[in-house]
């Protein structure tokens, strides 16, 4: 596995702005990821990384997912009987 690519992918996925993982730490993270069944979510990925490097700085880009509400409101605003078929 390309460790530089892994590092950049982790930074993008977790919003990491500051960290200094060693080669051995990146290899351990890669090993733990390979042992997983399926693709980890953001929380599980963060837990794996923090289990190896102990800390990193990141920006918080989490927010409330309003996609269901947006869909609901757009459906509610449609005139009655104007179903898109």
Q: Which pTM value belongs to this model?
A: 0.67
Q: What is the mean pLDDT of the chain?
A: 80
Q: Across-strand partners of 57? A: 18
Q: Are 30 and 52 in contact (CB under 8 A)?
A: no
pLDDT bracket for residue 23 (50, 70, 90)? very high
Q: Which among 12, 8, 61, 6 is positioned nearest to 28, based on CA atoms?
A: 6
Question: What are the pLDDT digits (tens) for 62-82?
Answer: 565 656 656 665 656 556 565
Q: Could you tell me where the DSSP H helices lie in the chain?
A: 3-14, 23-35, 42-53, 67-77
């Amino acid at each position: 596995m390309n460790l530089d690519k892994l590092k950049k992918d982790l930074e993008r996925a977790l919003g990491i702005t500051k960290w200094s993982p060693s080669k051995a730490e990146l290899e351990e993270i890669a090993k733990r990821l390979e042992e997983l069944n399926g693709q980890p979510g953001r929380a599980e990925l963060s837990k794996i990384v923090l289990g190896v490097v102990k800390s990193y700085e990141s920006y918080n880009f989490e927010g409330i997912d309003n996609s269901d509400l947006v869909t609901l409101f757009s459906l509610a605003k449609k005139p009655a009987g104007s179903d898109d078929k």
